[in-house]
Amino acid sequence: MPRRSAARSGMALILALAAIALGGGLALYLQARAAALARAERSELLRERLRVAAAEAAREALWILAADEDLAVDHLGEDWARPRETNRADGVSTWAVVEDAGRFINWNNLAASNRTARDAREILLDLMMFCGDFDAAVRVDALQDFMDADEEGTYEADFYRVGDAPYAPPNRALWAPAELLRVHGFSAELFRPRPRTDPDDPTGGDLSAATVLVPQPLAAPIPVNVNTASRDVLMGVSGLRQEDAVRQILALRQVQPFETLATMFTAYPEVAAVLEGSVGTASAVFRVRARAAADGQHRTVLAWVERDPRTGDVRILQWLEGEG
């Protein structure tokens, strides 16, 4: 009897210890789970704070753009063109910048009706060649077929109905860079930034910094702004033989932005006929990029807007939010 009693007592002790161990393990699990949920909730709350902060930074930049007093002239010395950084009391840092579409050559210009001295195709060809792309004609033809509504061309719908993932061209202006990368001959490699080692290199341009895709159907191409466009863009729009005139235009606008095209055309009559209809001194379409960051997390805003050239009112064309 004493041995059986001792055995029962030993078994009870083992079961009690096991129960204590299981209870302790369960408590640790629940504690860890609660801590993980709390971290996830804090992270989600931070993401929302950053989303709101990035949107506020973008909207503030657009208010400054709308408050521009001189809508006839846009240049890089104006308030709206200056990047803005803010370190808030809650630990969130924000950054925002506004860029006018006239700083770039818009890929969607190719789908617009042309009333300029040089059409969008010529401009894109010269720009791409200036940026070192010697297969530019194939790519521009493919892009034109990708966007036009007819079926007359080498790179129309039948061309894309082959392979493992056939698709059809949209036959319209493009809405996102991802669509551009579906065009025959286009790839991410084409838009990789190119370091400029020689400023006088006749093929040293950077396509990634000279072009943009404005998500908007156009009645006419978006003009290049002679007060904000880079050398690469001005070389593309004026033609590869106008390097001296482009260099002089860049030097003169550093002294004072061009208030009218007449001033520039009088100073450089040799390029007046070439640039007529393709350039302007102000912009109507702008891109705002904003970012908010804290504790290793980021939220971003990319927005395209159109500004009324008479009132300054801003209308949002596209608003995209993301992370990274």
What pLDDT, in 10s, does the model give residues 297-308? 999 999 999 999
Residue 262 shares a structural domain with residue 138: yes
Whether residues 10 and 66 fall in one domain? yes
Whether the model clears a pTM of 0.95, i.e. scores above it, the answer is: no
For residue 73, pLDDT over 60 is answered with yes
Lowest mean pLDDT among 67-76, 177-186, 190-199, 249-258: 190-199
Same domain, 43 and 70: yes
Residue 18: its pLDDT value, please? 66
Helices 231-238/243-255 angle, 10° precision: 130
- Main-chain dihedrals φ then ψ at residue 172, nearest 5 degrees: -160, 175
Gap between the Cα atoms of 219 and 209, Å rounded: 25
Torsion-angle region of residue 22: left (phi > 0), alpha (psi -120 to 50) or beta? alpha
127 and 241 housed in the same domain: yes
Residues 121 and 231 in one domain: yes
How far apart CA 225 and CA 73 sit, in angstroms, is 9
pLDDT reported for residue 120: 92
Count of domains forming the chain: 2
Sole residue written with tokens 């010395």: 77
Range in 77-86, 264-273, 288-297 with the lowest mean pLDDT: 264-273
Domain, as residue range, for 192: 104-280
Per DSSP bridges, beta strands 105-106 and 211-212 are parallel
Residues 135 and 148 in one domain: yes
Q: Which pLDDT belongs to residue 22?
A: 72
- Rounded to 10 degrees, what is the CA torsion of 178, 180, 185, 187? -40
Chain mean position to CA 269: 35
Tell me: do 273 and 309 sit in the same domain.
no
- Average predicted confidence (pLDDT) for the chain: 88
Q: Is 60 helix (H, G, I), strand (E, B) or coil?
A: helix
The alpha carbons of the chain give a radius of gyration, in whole angstroms, of: 29
Residue 173, domain CATH = 1.10.40.60
Mean pLDDT of 172-198: 91
Q: Are residues 270 and 123 in the same domain?
A: yes
Single out the residue in 249, 265, 280 at which a domain terminates.
280
When mean pLDDT is compared over 75-89, 148-162, 187-201, 234-248, the highest value belongs to: 75-89
pLDDT band for position 268 (cuts 50, 70, 90): confident
d(CA 60, CA 116): 35
- State the CATH number of the domain containing residue 300: 3.30.1300.30
Specify whether 173 is located in the same domain as 89.
Answer: no
Q: Are 253 and 73 in contact (CB under 8 A)?
A: no
> Average pLDDT of 210-231?
94
- How far apart are the C-alpha atoms of 105 and 232, rounded to whole Å? 10
DSSP 95-160: EEEEEEGGGSEEGGGGGS---SSS-HHHHHHHHHHHTT-TTHHHHHHHHHHHHSSS--STTSHHHH
Is residue 171 located within the same domain as residue 128? yes
- Return the residue matching tokens 């065009």: 183
Across 113-127, 141-155, 281-295, least confident range: 113-127
pLDDT in tens, 3-51: 556 566 666 667 666 667 676 676 676 677 767 776 667 778 999 999 9
User: What residues are paired with 292 via a beta bridge?
Assistant: 94, 299
Specify whether 113 is located in the same domain as 187.
Answer: yes
Residue 1 has pLDDT above 80, yes or no: no
Note whether 272 and 126 are same-domain residues: yes
